[in-house]
């Protein structure tokens, strides 16, 4: 093929797509345009191994710059894309018009900002980029006081890493439990207990009313009249997809860039992948925007195939994992509030070696293993299938026989 493919983005979906294109034999021109100064990289290490100090930040880079040169890929980092011209099949980046035959938008997402924090003049940060991770890690140590607003995955993983470095950590969560909307009360309660056992001051139902600087300290005022005093404040209240380019160009945008099951947008020559893509899922029967590592990889593979004229489906079930202290888990599927009517826990929940299952009637919509690593194959097999809920709940019935 001699088409020209342009990829906008510098994350794992973008990088995976480019590698897959060359591995699949695509011999046309490829241009990658990324906002950040680094080559495309993956983000999970930024809140895990890099933040723990186990690996250097550049370990997250998918391929070094030499790989792009060796594979005739025009990699343009620290370059901002200003607009898309869909009719003319070109993008405008750093004042240059770059033509394409097919375009992939893998523009990712950015942290939701908290104005109270940003306007405070205090030491406040977010955790999304490689530079964010390096900056946060260098602060860790004995006696350092970290405050975290938001008890989601990023907030809890950062809290665990800080605590393991000897820091004092306070987490403020507005809901009754951390990860409540993701895991439901049954499993979210396990996560809350885990962090409290490791010395985290986890405050749920917390409403922040003010943030200010006092010398080198950050003062966070709460609705109950108390004040949290820390050295640095990490804000982790979710992300929002970077859809501005797509929206301005006239693509359909709805909680991300809307795509079909092949990751094709409302314009036939434009695809979207990764955190920014709200894609029709042929297995789950709904559109879905997933902000996880595995989805970025799977989308990259599908996007590469279809940029080359294929019709591959983005049908992989959502998957994510986390490691916090001595607790590890893997989750498959998608269980949103209201999408399930029963949660089944099997194993030693108190000892944190168990499996959890979210059911909508007899259908398993999601499953996870916690410190039960041999169970992941069964989790993958059962999610999306129908089962006898009572047999699933019966500890005497092996999972292999459900």
- Chain segment 60-94, per-residue pLDDT in tens: 999 999 999 999 999 999 999 999 999 999 999 99
Element of type H or E holding 135: helix 130-137
Superfamily of domain 113-235: FAD/NAD(P)-binding domain (3.50.50.60)
Residue 389 has pLDDT above 60, yes or no: yes
CATH code of the region 326-401: 3.30.390.30
- Chain segment 351-380, per-residue pLDDT in tens: 999 999 999 999 999 999 999 999 999 999
Residue 127 CA to its chain's centroid (Å): 11
User: Does 4-110+240-307 match 113-235 in CATH topology?
Assistant: yes
- Determine the Cα–Cα distance for residues 139 and 82; give it in Å rounded to an integer: 35
Question: What is the residue extent of each domain of the chain?
Answer: 4-110+240-307, 113-235, 326-401
- Chain segment 184-210, per-residue pLDDT in tens: 999 999 999 999 999 999 999 999 999
Q: Are 128 and 110 in contact (CB under 8 A)?
A: yes
Q: Quick one: pLDDT at residue 1? A: 44
- Closest-CA residue to 233 (of 106, 375, 124): 124
Alpha-carbon separation of residue 206 from 35, 171, 180, 184, 376 (angstroms): 35, 9, 14, 18, 35
pTM to 2 decimals?
A: 0.95
CATH code of the region 4-110+240-307: 3.50.50.60
Q: What mean pLDDT is reported for the chain?
A: 96
Residue 350 has pLDDT above 70, yes or no: yes
3-class DSSP state of 232: strand
| Angle at CA of residue 66, ends 64 and 67, nearest 5° | 75
Q: Are 400 and 375 in contact (CB under 8 A)?
A: no
Q: Quick one: pLDDT at residue 2? A: 64
């Amino acid at each position: 093929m001699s088409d020209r493919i342009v990829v906008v983005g510098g994350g794992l979906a973008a990088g995976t797509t480019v590698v897959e294109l060359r591995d699949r034999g695509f011999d046309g021109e490829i241009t990658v345009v990324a906002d950040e100064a680094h080559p495309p990289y993956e983000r999970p290490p930024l809140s895990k191994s890099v933040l723990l100090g186990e690996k250097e930040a550049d370990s997250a880079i998918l391929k070094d710059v030499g790989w792009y040169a060796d594979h005739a890929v025009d990699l343009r980092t620290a370059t901002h894309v200003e607009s898309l011209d869909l009719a003319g099949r070109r993008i405008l980046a750093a004042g240059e018009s770059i033509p394409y035959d097919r375009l992939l938008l893998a523009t990712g997402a950015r942290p939701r900002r908290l104005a109270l924090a940003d306007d405070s003049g205090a030491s406040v940060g977010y955790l999304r980029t490689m530079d964010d991770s390096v900056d946060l890690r260098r602060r860790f140590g004995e006696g350092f006081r970290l405050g975290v607003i938001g008890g989601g995955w990023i907030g809890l993983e950062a809290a665990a890493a800080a605590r393991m470095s000897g820091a004092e950590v306070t987490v403020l969560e507005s809901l009754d439990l951390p990860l409540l909307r993701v895991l439901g009360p049954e499993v979210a309660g396990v996560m809350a207990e885990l962090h409290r056992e490791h010395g985290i001051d986890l405050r749920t139902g917390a409403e922040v009313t003010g943030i200010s600087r006092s010398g080198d300290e950050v003062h966070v005022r709460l609705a109950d009249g108390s004040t949290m005093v820390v050295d640095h404040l990490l804000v982790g209240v979710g992300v929002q997809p970077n859809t501005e380019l797509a929206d301005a160009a006239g693509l359909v945008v709805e909680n991300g860039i809307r795509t079909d099951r092949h990751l094709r947008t409302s314009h036939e020559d434009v695809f979207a992948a990764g955190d920014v893509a709200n894609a029709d899922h042929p297995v789950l029967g709904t559109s879905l925007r997933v902000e996880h590592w595995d989805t970025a990889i799977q989308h990259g593979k599908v996007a590469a195939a279809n940029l080359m004229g294929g019709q591959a489906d983005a049908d992989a079930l959502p998957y994510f994992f986390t490691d916090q202290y001595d607790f590890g888990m893997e989750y498959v599927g998608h269980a949103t509030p209201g999408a399930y009517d029963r949660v089944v826990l099997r194993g030693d929940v108190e000892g944190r070696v168990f499996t959890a299952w979210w059911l909508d009637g007899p259908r398993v919509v999601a499953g996870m293993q916690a410190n039960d690593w041999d169970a992941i194959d069964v989790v993958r097999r059962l999610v999306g299938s129908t089962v006898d809920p009572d047999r699933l709940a019966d500890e005497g019935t092996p999972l292999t026989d459900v």
